[in-house]
Amino acid sequence: MSGWQLQEAKQRFSEVVRRAVNEGPQVVTRHGEEVAVVIDIAEYRRLKGEGGDFVRFLLSGPYVDGDLDFPRNRDLPREIDFD
């Protein structure tokens, strides 16, 4: 991750954004303390969880068409004594 002092980041904001898109997250510091990160919008959406819910994710899998066959064990259950 590249680092930028706040004043420099304000003056060169276009470059900060360009680097966030091309190189990855850009850390902004103020008085030597990390205070913000500029990231690519795709990374933001991935982190935020946009792009579909869990059900949609499962339904997009390769076995959605019902081709899976799970054989069931047909044996009777075992006897259990609860005394």
The DSSP string of 18-80 is HHHHHT--EEEEETTEEEEEE--HHHHHHHHT-S--HHHHHHTSTTTTS----PPP-PPPPP-
How much is the pLDDT for 13?
Answer: 97
pTM for this structure?
0.59
At 71 the pLDDT is 84
Specify the DSSP class assigned to residue 16: H
Query: Residue 73 pLDDT more than 90?
Result: no
Tens of pLDDT, residue by residue over 35-69, are: 999 999 999 988 887 666 777 777 777 766 666 67
Choose between 48 and 11: higher pLDDT: 11
**Sequence spans of domains, the chain:** 2-59
Contact 37, 25 (CB under 8 A): yes
The domain covering 2-59 belongs, at the CATH homologous superfamily level, to YefM-like domain (3.40.1620.10)
